[in-house]
Structure 1
Amino acid sequence: LLHLEIIQERLEREYNLDLVTTAPSVIYKIYKENGEVIDLTNPTNLPDPSEIEHMEEPIVSAEIMVTTEFIGAIMELCQQRRGRYISMEYVEGSRALLKYDIPLNEIIYDFFDALKSRSRGYASFDYELKGYEQAKLVKLDILINKEEVDALSFIVPEASAYERGRKMCEKIKN
């Protein structure tokens, strides 16, 4: 994030720009009632909910090598990020290989930092795109002075929409 802030500051200063940086996002598949399939790259292009049959999000197969001391903390992190446990194999007695399927949206922002923090640097992480899976997702809009700010809209799991919206509003407020 430090590099991002430096680049943003230079662009603003050298090119006299006002930039808004947002979190990275993923491409969702929207299946409409009329049979049309849309690749959604921007939350502002989400069709009306009445037109949507279902939505799918990209899923990754993740492999995490961790010392046995931190297995619990890493499993908890994966669960918090909506990971689905696949397997665990012990390697050389003091290490374990954890396998999870995790939504890509849950790992692209700060998963690696959280992984290193919870394992005190003793975990490695590898993943590959597995495909898409159906999920209950909603568009979260942020309003400032009763006006929607498109740059702050994002797609979230329905179950965590309120909490994510509250956290975003607290960040904006501070």
Structure 2
Amino acid sequence: MSASIRSVADARVGDTITHYGRKAEQSLPGYKEATPMVFCGLFPVDADQYTSFLSYIPIFPDLRDALEKLQLNDAALKFEPETSSAMGFGFRCGFLGLLHMEIVQERLEREYNLTLITTAPSVVYRVHCVNGETVECSNPSALPEQGKRKSIEEPMVKIEMLTPKDYIGSLMELSQDRRGDFQGMKFITENRASLTYEMPLAEMVGDFFDQLKSRSKGYASMEYSFIGYKESDLIKLDVLINGDGVEPLSTIVHKDKAYSVGRALTQKLKELIPRQMFKVPIQVRLFFANEK
């Protein structure tokens, strides 16, 4: 079979090929397009690496070309241009999970000689507006204004953790701190148990896996699967430096964790921002239902 396909990306895995004169009424079942679950921004340290007139020289790679080449053999990778006042031009990329994100970043740096800045990973929120529209938001800066929002839903995952019985209490404490909903526990063997929780994906894309390994001394393992969306009490957290908002540092957090997340973020920025000859106020602004 020969086809006049100009771009490899136009031929997706799972596409149904049918006869032009006897077209199939529907695609063959069992295939679905990979949907990104974790998003982050990729920005080159050197601005010339975004779009370079010298892209034919190996030491001046082009970030867009590198992403397009990776996408040829990785259909799950999604990206779109993004502009930041603090970091310049870059791309908003979607990944299947944290491991997928780390692999893509490592390949970009090793195979294409790029030096990248990666923003904190985020997930896709589903926002229901008062006018009846539903907006999917992966970037906090694209979140509709407070008066236009009716409710926000966040993605939920089902996590199964396999652990020795000595670490069951520690892992249950970790899961509950991450707003996990206990589903059940069963012993696979006399000394090994399986814990099942339903948890927001946003709570898992951070350092959850690192904490799981740390608390179990490396003996525990986990797997998770996406189960759907659930309405939650979420708010937007903005960071102000010297009175100006910094959009790349904005995030969407649960109302109960807003204060602790904001305090930790400002303390970290205080250590990272160099001292000046004048005061540089570092503030966090929280948007609640009827107040700031």
- The whole-number CA distance in structure 2 between the counterparts of 1:46 and 1:129 is 22
| Equivalent position of 1:4 in the other structure | none
Match of 1:77 among 155, 174, 188: 174
The verdict on how the C-alpha distance between 1:20 and 1:173 changes in structure 2, with shifts beyond 3 A counting, is farther
The DSSP-based 3-state class of the residue aligned with 1:58 is: strand
Q: Deviations over 1:43-97 (max 9, x none)?
A: 1111111211110000000000000000000000000111000000011110110
Contact 2:156-2:199 at 8 Å conserved across structures = yes
The verdict on how the C-alpha distance between 1:144 and 1:20 changes in structure 2, with shifts beyond 3 A counting, is farther
| Equivalent position of 1:149 in the other structure | 246
| Equivalent position of 2:277 in the other structure | none
Contact 1:88-1:99 at 8 Å conserved across structures = yes
RMSD: 1.9
Contact 2:45-2:117 at 8 Å conserved across structures = no
Query: What is the percent sequence identity of the aligned residues?
Result: 43
TM-score normalised to structure 1 length: 0.90
Q: Measure how far apart 1:21 and its partner are.
A: 3.1
Match of 1:51 among 118, 140, 148: 148
TM-score normalised to structure 2 length: 0.54
User: By percentage of residues, which structure has more helix?
Assistant: 1
Q: Measure how far apart 1:37 and its partner are.
A: 0.1
The answer to whether structure 1 residue 102 and structure 2 residue 199 are counterparts is yes
Alignment of 1:7-22 (within 5 A): 12=45, 15=48, 20-22=117-119
1:12 maps to amino acid:
V
- The whole-number CA distance in structure 1 between the counterparts of 2:178 and 2:48 is 38
The DSSP-based 3-state class of the residue aligned with 1:23 is: coil
1:132 maps to amino acid:
Y
| Equivalent position of 2:235 in the other structure | 138
Contact 2:154-2:230 at 8 Å conserved across structures = yes
1:27 maps to amino acid:
V
The DSSP-based 3-state class of the residue aligned with 1:141 is: strand
Match of 1:171 among 234, 256, 268: 268
The DSSP-based 3-state class of the residue aligned with 2:209 is: helix
| Equivalent position of 1:66 in the other structure | 163
The answer to whether structure 1 residue 112 and structure 2 residue 209 are counterparts is yes
1:156 maps to amino acid:
V
Structure with bigger RCO (C-alpha 8 Å, 6+ apart): 1
The DSSP-based 3-state class of the residue aligned with 1:93 is: coil
The DSSP-based 3-state class of the residue aligned with 2:168 is: helix
| Equivalent position of 1:127 in the other structure | 224
Which structure has the bigger radius of gyration?
2
Structure 2: state its 5+ residue gaps. Answer: 1-41, 51-86, 88-115, 272-292
Contact 1:20-1:151 at 8 Å conserved across structures = no
| Equivalent position of 1:159 in the other structure | 256
| Equivalent position of 1:39 in the other structure | 136
The DSSP-based 3-state class of the residue aligned with 1:106 is: helix
The DSSP-based 3-state class of the residue aligned with 1:89 is: strand
- The whole-number CA distance in structure 2 between the counterparts of 1:44 and 1:122 is 39
Structure 1: state its 5+ residue gaps. Answer: 1-6
Contact 1:31-1:37 at 8 Å conserved across structures = yes
